[in-house]
Each structure stands twice: as structure tokens, then as C-alpha cells.
Amino acid sequence: MNGQVVQMETLPACDFCRLSGIDTRAQYDAKTNFGGSWANMCAEHWVQHRASDQLGLGLGQKLELKPS
């Protein structure tokens, strides 16, 4: 499905880990289960806070590093 994966030069920090002072790279940019808010999330926080199991336009994307 189109829009499920985005390749990036660098991965952003996980927004939830950053709140705890931990520097973890995000693997997802997705809608959360907090009333429509979006966040960059590591795999652990995506499982905890995702609004949907599915990825795609309007739901979220898996973030990957661009090949060198």
C-alpha cells in the first residue's frame, strides 16, 4: 500500500522516550490513541500508543534510513 514506508536521511527521536530523557530513534510516525495526536515513536511506544494496527496515508508510516 502506498504511503506505508518513508525513507529518511536521519531518524527522529521517539517523542515518548524523549519525555523521559532517553534518546531512542523513532521507527514510526503515526497517529496515537490520544485523541488524534501524532507522534514519532520507537517500536515499543508504537505498540503501546498507536491508534491503528495499520499503516498508510492518514494512519502513519514506518520510518527507515535511506540506503547509503
pLDDT tens, position by position, 51-67: 999 999 999 999 999 99
Task: Say if pTM beats, i.e. exceeds, 0.85.
Answer: yes
C-alpha cell at position 23: 534518546
Number of domains composing the chain: 1
Name 64's Cβ contacts closer than 8 Å, sequence gap at least 6. 5, 6, 7, 8
Domain of 11? Answer: 5-65
Residue 13 near residue 40, CB atoms below 8 Å: yes
3-state secondary structure 32-66: ECCCCCEEEECHHHHHHHECCCCCECCCEEEEEEC
pLDDT tens, position by position, 15-48: 999 999 999 999 999 999 998 899 999 999 999 9
